[in-house]
Amino acid sequence: MASFSLEYLIRQPKIPQSNAPLLIMFHGYGSNEQDLFSFADELPGELLIISARAPLSLGFGSYAWYTIHFDATSSDKFSDIPEAKEALKRIDQFINEVVAAYDVDEKNIFLLGFSQGTILSTAYALNHPHKIQHIAALSGYVNQELIEKPIEKESYKDLDFFVSHGSADQVIPVEWARKTGPFLEKLNIKYSYREYPVGHGVAPQNFYDLHNWIKERCSSH
C-alpha cells in the first residue's frame, strides 16, 4: 500500500467502477477527518470519497491546517499566511498521491471544504486549475494572499464553484463570503452562491442543495 503524507478516511464507490469521480474533503480549524466524512454515505454512490486530516495537532482529536488569529477584525489578518502556503503544498502532494494510488477520473475531481478547508480548497483550485474541476466552498472565503499571480482567465474555464454560507455566521462573517461571487465573476468562473439562516455550520437545506449540485456533476461525465 502506498504511504500518504496525510492521514485520511476513505469511502469506496458504492458501485465498483474504474475511473470513478473523486471527492476530497478538507475540514475546518479544530476539527478532524471524521467531521465532513460523517455525511459521506449520503453523497452520490459513484464517488470515491477521501477525507483528509490536517497536519497540525491542537490536542484532543483537534487539528488545523494553519494558525488562525481569531481576534483579527479583517479577513486579511485572519490567517497565518506562511503556514497556509505550506498547507497548500501539503495538499498538492496529498492530491498527487491520491490520484496516483486510486483509479479515479482526473477530469472529474471535487474538493469539498469547510471554513479553513474552504479557504485552502479555493486557493488550491485557483492555483492549480488544470488539476481540479469542482469546488464546494462551505462557510469560507477567498483569501487573495494565497493565490499565485498572474491570473490567466483562460486557465479557469473548467472550474465550477458551489459557495454557501450561514447568514448568521459568528466565526467567518457573511460579508467576507459575499465577496466570493464578484471575485469569481471577474475571472469568468462558473459558480452558484447561496446563504442559509444559520451560524457557522451546514444547514439541512444547504446539504440537500450541495448533494444535488454534486450529483449533477457526477452524472454529466
Per residue in 1-21, pLDDT (tens digit) is 468 999 999 999 998 889 999
Q: What is the pLDDT of residue 63?
A: 98
pLDDT at 31 over 50: yes
Q: Give residue-wise pLDDT tens across range 168-199.
A: 999 999 999 999 999 999 999 999 999 999 99
Q: Could you give the domains of the chain? A: 8-219 (3.40.50.1820)
pLDDT at 70 over 80: no
Q: What is the pLDDT of residue 94?
A: 98
Burial string for 99-136 (b: 16+ CB within 10 Å, else e) reads beeeebbeebbbbbbbbbbbbbbbbbbbbebeebbbbb
Q: What is the arithmetic mean of pLDDT over 56-61?
A: 95
Residue with cell 479515479: 104
Q: What is the pLDDT of residue 2?
A: 60
Sheet holding 134-138, edge to edge: 8-11, 48-52, 20-26, 104-114, 134-138, 160-166, 190-196
* Mean pLDDT of the residues in the chain: 94
Q: Flag whether the pTM goes above 0.85.
A: yes
**Pick the residue with more confidence: 50 or 150?**
50
Counting residues of the chain whose pLDDT is more than 70, the rounded percentage is 97
Q: What is the pLDDT of residue 205?
A: 98
